Amino acid sequence: MQAQNDREAAIAKAVDDLLTEDPNSSFAFIVVAVAGSVGLLLSASDTQFLMDYSRVKLSSGRKITP
C-alpha cells in the first residue's frame, strides 16, 4: 500500500516508526498513537488510510489484535 500524498506519507512513516519501536503494538494502540502524533487533523480519508495501512502492516507477519 503506497501513500498518495504528503499527509498519507506522514501517516505511513508514523506507523512504520511505531512498529519499529514496538513490533507488538496492537491495532488500537497504533491508530490512537499515530492519530495523536501526526500533528494534524485527520480527515475521513486520512483516517481511512491510517486504518488500512495499519491493518496491512500488521497482517504482514502477525495477527491483528484489538
Q: Which tens digits make up the pLDDT trace of 12-63?
A: 999 999 999 998 899 999 999 998 887 667 888 999 999 999 999 988 765 4
- pLDDT of res. 41: 74
- pLDDT of res. 64: 44
- pLDDT of res. 61: 63
Helix (H, G, I), strand (E, B) or coil at 38: coil
- Cα–Cα distance for residue pair 24/7, rounded to 1 Å: 25
> pTM of the predicted model, to two decimals?
0.82
Nearest-CA neighbor of 14 among 2, 27, 30?
30
Query: What residues contact residue 64 under an 8 Å CB cut-off, 6+ apart?
Result: 26, 27, 55, 58
Q: Which helix (H) or strand (E) holds 41?
A: none
